[in-house]
């Protein structure tokens, strides 16, 4: 849970990269907490909801409004998230950065882009943090797949172009 001290609050409002937001809470425009950030890639934020009945939401980066120091806010409603972005698959650790995942190279994926900052919507937010760890897979070829339409690409650049054109 977040501390409510002014020191922690001011550090939460500093610019952050996507990796810094792993395990942080995600809210929709209708102010529904849809879960915590489980994984990130250049094109998607994967949100995990639940402990027993787990749901994964593959949210395109262009659907993110920004980080307010406590919560990552989306530009879409919970209904839109469930209808368009829910998938029953774990993120591929060769394509996504997953916290506590020990063995992979992060330099080729755009994890280091800054997250848009927005003014706080509420004060003294608290949240529970959950993470499910997965076992690394070695010697698996890199697959660049759009997790929304399952189209496979030969490179990350091709996937980027697809995300720019299709606008899921």
- Helix residue spans in 17-167 (DSSP H): 78-84, 156-166
Give dist(CA 102, CA 93) in Å, integer: 10
40, 111 Cβ separation under 8 angstroms: yes
Give the chain's residues under pLDDT 70: 1-15, 102-113, 122-140
Strand, coil or helix: 84: helix
> What pLDDT is attached to residue 157?
87
Going along the chain from its start, the domains and CATH numbers come out as: 6-133 (2.30.30.240)
> What pLDDT is attached to residue 113?
62
> What pLDDT is attached to residue 13?
53
Give dist(CA 135, CA 127) in Å, integer: 26
Strand, coil or helix: 53: coil
What does the block give as tokens for 115?
A: 């997250």
> What pLDDT is attached to residue 139?
60
> What pLDDT is attached to residue 68?
92
> What pLDDT is attached to residue 52?
87
The model's pTM? 0.65
70, 80 Cβ separation under 8 angstroms: no
**Dihedral Cα 151, 88, 62, 42, nearest 10 deg:** -70
Average pLDDT over all residues of the chain? 78
> What pLDDT is attached to residue 128?
38
């Amino acid at each position: 849970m977040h501390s409510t001290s002014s020191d922690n609050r001011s550090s939460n409002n500093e610019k952050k990269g996507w990796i810094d937001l792993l395990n942080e809470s995600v809210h929709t425009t209708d102010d529904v907490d849809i879960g915590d950030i489980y994984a990130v890639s250049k094109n998607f934020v994967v949100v995990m909801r639940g402990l027993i009945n787990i749901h994964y939401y593959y949210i395109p980066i262009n659907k993110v409004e920004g980080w307010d120091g406590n919560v990552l806010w989306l530009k879409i409603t919970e209904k839109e998230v469930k209808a368009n972005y829910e998938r029953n698959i774990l993120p591929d650790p060769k394509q996504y950065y997953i916290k506590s995942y020990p063995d992979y190279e992060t330099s080729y994926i755009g994890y280091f882009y800054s997250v848009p900052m927005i003014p706080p919507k509420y004060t003294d937010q608290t949240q529970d943090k959950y993470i499910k760890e997965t076992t690394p897979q070695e010697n698996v070829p890199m697959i660049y797949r759009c997790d929304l339409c399952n189209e496979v690409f030969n490179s990350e650049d091709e996937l980027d172009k697809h995300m720019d054109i299709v606008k899921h």
